[in-house]
Amino acid sequence: MFDITSYNKWLQTGRLGRRFWYFRSLSSTNRYLQQTDGVRLSDGLVCLTDYQTKGRGQFGRSWDSTDGENLTFSMVFRPTSDVSLQLISLTAMLAMNETIKNTISCDSKIKWPNDLIVSGKKVAGMLTECRYNGKKRDRILVGLGVNVNQTQFSTSIQRAAISLKQVSGGQPVDRSLLLAMFLNRLEPYYSSALDGDMELIRSINRNIRGYGQWVSIYVDGVREQTPVKILGINEFGCLVVLTANDEVKTYTYQQIRIEDC
């Protein structure tokens, strides 16, 4: 079971993660928070389960996670500003990427738009969703799955997935410490995102896999004939690329997929 006492010991945030909902099992933490009455939710609430029976990733993919070995959780954000969903998502990815690098001293990278990659394999994935009240944005839900201590994966993903325990040479990783360290790092980054801090944008760019390189991309499911150079993200979290014809193009996360580089 997740060690809540240890988690509270290591947590140093002012708000993020201070309200903490723990469940032994849920179908999906994002789905649970989508269905929860908004009066029960506050900015910075974290909902974690030891076992997601129907965990989801981007584009409707399932998330394979063994009971009690990984981190599967969602965070509630209710910003008063109009900060973009994409920027909040990438801010969380940056915080987790740096937490992982500092925890096990590995070279992890953000794979646009919502994965973390170590040694060419996925160690974490994110699903970010919004719920609206009429035309007004009511809540942003950032769901994260991190392969922490799992060492056996299903046949369909075993060549593509890796865990922190595998990267660290078999040393188990404390899940409660990892989550607390992530939230400690994310809280000031979230404030920077709300303030429109361009240094945050530059930090995200430096951690994007393929940044400054020529890569092949798929746009709306169709592979572009010529490579593009990744210039990074803009202040809205959209990906900016340079084409072979020196044309600058901007894409949302729904439009583009980057081929492995």
Q: Are strands 46-52 and 20-26 parallel, antiparallel or unpaired?
A: parallel
CATH 3.30.930.10 fits 4-206, yes or no: yes
Residue 190: which H helix or E strand, with range? helix 175-195
Residue 260: pLDDT over 90: no
> What's the Cα-to-Cα distance from 204 to each of 23, 88, 91, rounded to whole Å?
32, 11, 7
pLDDT of amino acid 111: 93
Distances 28 to 37, 176, 234 between C-alpha atoms, Å:
16, 19, 31
pTM above 0.95, yes or no: no
pLDDT, position 112: 87
Cβ proximity of 51 and 25 under 8 Å: yes
**Residue 62 pLDDT > 70:** no
> Which residues face 223 on adjacent strands?
218
Residues 6+ apart with CB under 8 A from 20: 4, 7, 8, 45, 46, 48
Q: Which range, 10-19, 57-66, 248-257, has the best average confidence (pLDDT)?
A: 10-19
The 10s digit of each residue's pLDDT in 229-248 is 999 999 999 999 999 999 99
Q: Rounded to an integer, what distance in angstroms lies between the CA atom of residue 87 and that of residue 93?
A: 10
Query: CATH 3.30.930.10 region(s) of the chain?
Result: 4-206
CATH class in words for 214-258: mainly beta
| Residue 17 · residue 191 · CB < 8 Å | no
What's the pLDDT at 61?
Answer: 56
Grade residue 63 by pLDDT with cuts at 50, 70 and 90: low
Residue 91: band (very low, low, confident or very high) from pLDDT cuts 50, 70, 90? very high
Burial status of residue 67 (CB atoms within 10 A of its CB: 0-12, 13-18, 19 or more) = middle
CATH 2.30.30 domain span(s) along the chain: 214-258
What is the reported pLDDT for 59? 46
Task: Say if CB 76 and CB 181 are below 8 A apart.
Answer: no
Per-residue pLDDT of 127-183, as tens digits, reads: 999 999 888 899 999 999 999 999 988 877 878 899 999 999 999 999 999 999 999
